[in-house]
């Protein structure tokens, strides 16, 4: 668990392990019951609740992408203090 240098994370949308709030959970009848985070995403968010997270679909938007990059820099500099 040597991820002390990690200052942000980009997940894979809709992934069972790495989806960020958009992973579909299916019922037996193959209907979507709900959307949630993937298992690894959920684990990492609980371990580092203040770390910036996003997924690749959100990075397509320039404003969102720039905001994410700023949050990563802020997280990095706040960790150094």
Q: What is the pLDDT of residues 21-77, one digit of tens each?
A: 999 999 999 999 999 999 999 999 999 999 999 999 999 999 999 999 999 999 999
In three-state secondary structure terms, 7 is coil
Q: Which domain holds residue 48?
A: 9-80
In three-state secondary structure terms, 23 is strand
In a domain, 3, yes or no: no
In a domain, 34, yes or no: yes
pLDDT score recorded for residue 2: 57
In a domain, 15, yes or no: yes
In a domain, 2, yes or no: no
Tokens of 10: 């980009």
Pairing of strands 32-36, 53-55: unpaired
Residue pointed to by tokens 């802020």: 74
In a domain, 16, yes or no: yes
How many domains does the chain contain in total? 1
- Indicate the pTM of the whole model: 0.84
In a domain, 1, yes or no: no
Dist. CA 81–CA 41, nearest whole Å: 26
């Amino acid at each position: 668990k040597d991820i002390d240098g990690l200052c942000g994370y980009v997940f894979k949308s809709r992934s069972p392990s790495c989806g960020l709030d958009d992973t579909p959970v299916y019922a037996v009848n193959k209907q979507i019951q709900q959307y949630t985070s993937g298992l690894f995403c959920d684990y990492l968010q609980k371990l580092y609740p203040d770390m910036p997270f996003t997924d690749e679909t959100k990075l397509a938007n320039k404003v969102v992408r720039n905001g994410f990059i700023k949050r990563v820099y802020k997280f990095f500099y706040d960790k150094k203090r």
